[in-house]
């Protein structure tokens, strides 16, 4: 299967964070790729929304676009702010969330 990018501007450049809109009491996601070897998605988390521990099939990079989040991994808490990047290796349980709204780009490579 050939990888394809989607949901990205092709006529006028835009700020990446502006492509996704937060909704109260929800985590909203938007897929930016379509490939079995690469998953790339935008996420926006409303205030106090979290994803409990999970693991991914490949190494996962988190890049915070707006706001601040925390990632809990191996019993340690990592605080990420806008502009920060962090990688979680494949098959490592981790949780992500925040006290206030934030947006991030997640890329998982298999």
Per residue in 48-65, pLDDT tens?
999 999 999 999 999 999
pTM: 0.92
pLDDT mean across residues, the chain = 94
Could you give the percent of the chain with pLDDT greater than 90?
92
Q: What is the rounded CA–CA span in Å between residue 90 and residue 83? A: 23
The pLDDT of residue 3 is 62
Could you give the percent of the chain with pLDDT greater than 70?
97
Burial class of residue 42 (count of CB atoms within 10 Å of its CB; 0-12, 13-18, 19+): buried
CB of 64 closer than 8 Å to CB of 17:
no
pLDDT (tens digit per residue) in 7-24: 999 999 999 999 999 999
- Residue 28 vs residues 24, 41, 83: alpha-carbon distances, Å: 10, 10, 20
């Amino acid at each position: 299967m050939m990888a394809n990018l989607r949901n990205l501007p092709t006529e006028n450049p835009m700020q990446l964070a502006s492509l996704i809109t937060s909704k109260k009491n929800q985590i909203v996601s938007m897929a930016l790729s379509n490939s079995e070897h690469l998953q790339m998605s935008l996420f926006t988390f409303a205030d106090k929304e979290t994803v409990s521990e999970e693991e991914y099939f490949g190494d996962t990079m988190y890049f915070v676009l707006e706001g601040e989040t925390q990632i809990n991994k191996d019993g340690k808490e990592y605080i990420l702010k806008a502009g920060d990047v962090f990688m979680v290796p494949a098959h490592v349980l981790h949780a992500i969330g925040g006290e206030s709204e934030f947006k991030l780009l997640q890329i998982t490579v298999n």
